[in-house]
Each structure stands twice: as C-alpha cells, then as structure tokens.
Amino acid sequence: MKLASLKGGKDGRLAVVSRDLKRAVSAASIAPTLLDALERWTECESQLARLYDQINQGAATDAFDFDPRQAAAPLPRAPQWCDGSAFLNHGKLMETAFNMPPLPDVETIPLMYQGGSDDLLGPCDDVPLPDEAHGIDFEGEYGVIVDAVPLGCPAAMARSRIRLLVQINDVSLRGFGPREMKTGFGFFQAKPSSSFAPVAVTPDEIGIAWKDARIHLDLHIDWNGQWFGNPNGGEMNFGFDQLIAHAAKTRRLSPGTIIGSGTVSNAGGKKGSACIAERRAIETIGQGAPKTGFMKFGDRVRMEARMEDAPVFGAIEQRIVQAPVPQE
C-alpha cells in the first residue's frame, strides 16, 4: 500500500496512491489524515488496502493524477521524530577524519537524538534556512512509522509495530553540530525541519528488499544534477526493530512516531555518500583536508530509491533558499 498526505490543513489530507505513483484517490471516507489512520490502524488498514487494489486496477472512482508537488510530508506533524545513527561506517569515518575518540558501546547501543516533528517538509518544498555560513548539508535516510509501542518493548516485538516505511532528507547545519555535541545535550539548532518523499509504503511493497528490519534499496542522490552517491540501506548495523526498542526503553511511543536510520553509508566508498559531511571526512582522510564545500542558496538536491527501475517512495527534489526575516 502507498499513502500520501495532500497539502491542506495542518495534517494534510489522506490519499491512496497507485503503485506506479501516477494516480491517487482521496481516502477521506476512511480517515481524514494519515495520523488518524495510524491511530485507528486495525480499523482502517483493510479499507485502505481495498482502495489501493481498486486504484491499481483502474477501478477507483474519482481518481486523479498524482502530483508530488501537491504532497506534504506523509506526516506533516508527527508525535515524535527520533533519528538514529545506525550505519557505523559513517561514524567511523567522522571519528577518523576529525580525530574523535570512539564512543563507548557504539557497536551495541544505538545512537539516537530527538528532532523536531512539528514542521516536516514535503518532497518538493523549498528548504528555508537563515545563513549559508551555518554549513548546510543534506542527509539521505530511510525511516519507519510505527503503531503504538509499549515502554520496554523488545526488538522482537518492535518489528510487528512497524506500519510504514519512508524516505527522508534530514537537513543538517554542520556549523552548530560540534558545540551542541560537546554540551552533552545533543542536536538542536543543527537540525532544522526534515523533508520526506511523497509517499509512505507498507513493508510488503518492497518485497525481499525488506529483510531483517532493514530497507535493502539503493538511495540515489544528486546534488545540482551531479551524482553524489547511491548507498544501500541494507548495511545498517542496527535494524529498525533495534532502533525502536532503544527508543522505547524508557518511554511509550505513540502511533505516528517516526524512527530514522541516520545517514545511509556503505563501506568501501564505491557507492558514494549520502551527505556532504561524509564526503568531506573521506577527503580529509585521503588528502589531508576537505575540498567539497557545503550547500549554497539556490542549490538543489534530489533523492530517490528505486526497485528494479520502478519508483518506491517517489523523489525528494528540493531547493535551498534563504529564510525571510521575521516581521513583527
């Protein structure tokens, strides 16, 4: 099943999208928003699945052409956005490049921070930011959206709580990162609003590419029309089930909570990178200093996962722009 939130209202308007992402139909008669559907998943899932079958068979009444430019993030607002760092190759590169001491227990305890979830961006929305000097970076990630998860949920149980898969651009401001990490409080200003591909999909949509609670798909990334990387999500050192269990160790997770993988990263360097910071780290290790600069206003980034040359989540295609100065 493929679901989208069309722009309109604080939480969007739920639509079911065809497998090829060409057609859509309103799901308002089932649930007005995706968040509502997730909160009533047992009731709504079979009805949404029937509507999905109808649109794929060309039998859905009132179907219309799907325009990703009219899509908000699948969840424009989420109860929580918890982002992990599940690709240890990425962390090791950063440690080596910047002479950082290795974190204790990094191979057994996932890293995670809680980002802002009140203003998530759609796939074609401009990304407004205050200053190029802040070190603007993109981060290609995968994520999952969960149903209710009880406090203390083990990983084996957590896998059954995964409802939808998503593709993410976790926009980062690298200039704030070092200080915020040193404080011990973690990221805040370094993490503005994240962006999402137009559709969220149920795990069965990607078939064997959903294995061991990991998304085994290449994430193709272009920066200003030039290839930047196509790392595969299958190299996660911690599966999404483990990330969910980590997040739920001391708290309950509400339906609609999003858990991110962190920057998709593959060992060996042949598949490029999913963020500028990692490329800069590789340049520092190999050449003594970084050569690639961060993003400028007007720059564009494109991210898309495909399966046998067919679309999965649709593409994130965004431009970085200067945020307007607030007026009283």
Residue pLDDT, tens place only, 107-160: 999 999 999 999 999 999 999 999 999 999 999 999 999 999 999 999 999 999
Identify which has the larger pLDDT, 160 or 178: 160
Mean pLDDT computed over 297-310: 94
Q: What is the model's pLDDT at position 261? A: 98
pLDDT tens digits along 18-27: 999 999 999 9
Confidence of residue 236 (pLDDT cuts 50, 70, 90): very high
Q: Is the pLDDT of residue 104 over 90?
A: no
Residue 82 confidence class, pLDDT cut points 50, 70, 90? very high
> What per-residue confidence (pLDDT) applies to 308?
86
**What is the token pair recorded at 178?**
């070092």
User: Which has the higher per-residue pLDDT, 31 or 326?
Assistant: 31
What pLDDT does residue 180 have?
A: 85
Sign of CA dihedral 118, 123, 125, 129: positive
Domains and CATH numbers, the chain: 2-70 (no CATH), 81-322 (3.90.850.10)
Mean pLDDT is lowest, of 173-187, 199-213, 228-242, for: 173-187
Indicate yes or no: pTM above 0.95: yes
Average pLDDT over residues 41-47: 98
Q: Cβ distance 258 to 162 under 8 Å? A: no
Position 183 scores a pLDDT of 86
What is the predicted pLDDT for the residue at 309? 81
Q: What is the pLDDT of residue 176?
A: 92
Of 224-228, 255-259, 304-308, the poorest mean pLDDT is in 304-308
Q: What is the tens place of the pLDDT at every residue in 249-276?
A: 999 999 999 999 999 999 998 999 999 9
pLDDT for res 101 = 80
Per-residue pLDDT at 99: 77
Query: What's the rounded mean pLDDT across residues 211-218?
Result: 98
Average pLDDT, the chain: 96
